[in-house]
């Protein structure tokens, strides 16, 4: 598994402080801030989980059926296609 360095930079390089973003979303949606934070945590963890499943599948540490269960057949097919294309490109490059 690749060693990844954690980044302390905020995604999408938002200039607004997180409290301002939270307040804005709350005002726009009518949801209280605690509910929004709970949803954000759930969505963020789900996103990170899916990334970890993708990486485990790419690295060969997760069987295809397990990856399909989490990511769906279409996404796993896309990953398989990308892996195959990369292998072909590397083979072609080495033969030059």
Q: What is the pLDDT of residues 5-34, one digit of tens each?
A: 445 455 555 677 899 999 999 999 999 999
Q: Is residue 52 part of a domain?
A: yes
Give how many domains the chain has, as a whole number. Answer: 1
d(CA 94, CA 96): 6
Q: Is residue 5 part of a domain?
A: no
Asked if residue 50 lies in contact with residue 71, where contact means CB atoms within 8 angstroms, the answer is yes
Q: Is residue 81 part of a domain?
A: yes
Q: Is residue 1 part of a domain?
A: no
8 to 5, 11, 13, 26, 28: CA distances (angstroms): 10, 9, 11, 25, 27
Q: Note the pTM of the prediction, 2 decimals.
A: 0.71
Domain that holds residue 68: 15-94
Q: Is residue 6 part of a domain?
A: no
pLDDT digits (tens, 9 = 90+) for 36-81: 999 999 999 999 999 999 999 999 999 999 999 999 999 999 999 9
Q: Is residue 10 part of a domain?
A: no
């Amino acid at each position: 598994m690749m060693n990844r360095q954690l980044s302390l930079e905020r995604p999408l390089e938002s200039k607004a402080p997180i409290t301002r973003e939270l307040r804005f979303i709350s005002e726009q949606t009518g949801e209280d801030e605690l509910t929004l934070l709970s949803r954000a945590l759930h969505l963020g963890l789900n996103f990170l989980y899916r990334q970890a499943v993708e990486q485990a599948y790419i690295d060969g540490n997760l069987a295809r059926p397990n990856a399909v269960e989490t990511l769906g057949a279409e996404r796993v097919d896309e990953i398989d296609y990308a892996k195959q294309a990369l292998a072909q490109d590397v083979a072609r490059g080495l033969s030059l």
